[in-house]
Amino acid sequence: MLLPNPSYCRFSSYLMEKLMKNSVKLLLAGAVLALGMGAATAQASNLDVVRDSNGTPVKTTSGDCLRSQWMNSSDVCPGATPVISTETKSVFFVFDKATLTKDGKKALDALAADIKAKGNSVTAVRVAGYADRIGNATYNEKLSKKRADTVRKYLVSKGVVNAQVVETRWFGDSAPATDCPKKLSRAKLIKCLQPDRRVDVEVDTIPMPEGVEAPKPAPAPVAAPAKKMKKAKKAVKPAAKQ
């Protein structure tokens, strides 16, 4: 039986070891190259857009991004994240009442008109009812709910789509806006607690792009006038011959 040459065995082992090391190096080099190309592409995509001091992309009069260079991979103008602004309007109520006053209706009329004018830029409307501390907590919670429901229904009746009023809440006397002294006559205490008898309406909006008007909601369909039913003419019988 012939035994393998020791020198040949050592050479084969050395050759296999070199091949394995070279393969690992090639794999590592390929991975580094791929990462570098991805980073360079991302960097070019970000840097070719001209930005102002706040980091917002500068746009041309046609609405496109102003660029220092153009690349096929970065033709889309990156949009800024819309900032939601919240505006709060308060409507006040008479002591122990959930009906709207004339001033309350006037304020809600103006608010409803503003919401409709802003169209789809309005993202949410929230209604929150409150009560003052006079009376027990259970009663005040129910009263604040009635007030919130009153405002919600009034806004809906004025054309504010019901789906926009995404949340109706009531807090009773748990969130007072006043800090009235305890040692007051009942009449003075009721007057002092007026700001607590309210409903707050929060309206969330997003700014529309410059030069673009907010789309107006579709007007409510007008019912066609009912057609009058024509009275059937009575058949006239021929006179009997004499």
Domain ranges in the chain? Answer: 1-73, 85-205
The pLDDT-based confidence of 134 (bands split at 50, 70, 90) is very high
The more confidently predicted of residues 218 and 57 is 57
Give the predicted TM-score (pTM) of the model. 0.56
The yes-or-no verdict on residue 71 having pLDDT over 90 is no
Would you state the pLDDT for residue 40? 46
pLDDT, one tens digit per residue, over 99-113 is 999 999 999 999 999
Would you state the pLDDT for residue 198? 97
pLDDT, one tens digit per residue, over 217-240 is 445 444 455 555 555 555 555 555
Low-confidence winner among 8-17, 63-72, 217-226 (lowest mean pLDDT): 217-226
Q: Which amino acid appears at position 235 of this protein?
A: A
Looking at 3.40.50.800, 3.30.1330.60, 3.20.20.450, 1.20.200.10, the CATH number of the domain 85-205 comes to 3.30.1330.60
Phi and psi, residue 91, nearest 5°: -120, 130
Place of tokens 């003052």: 132
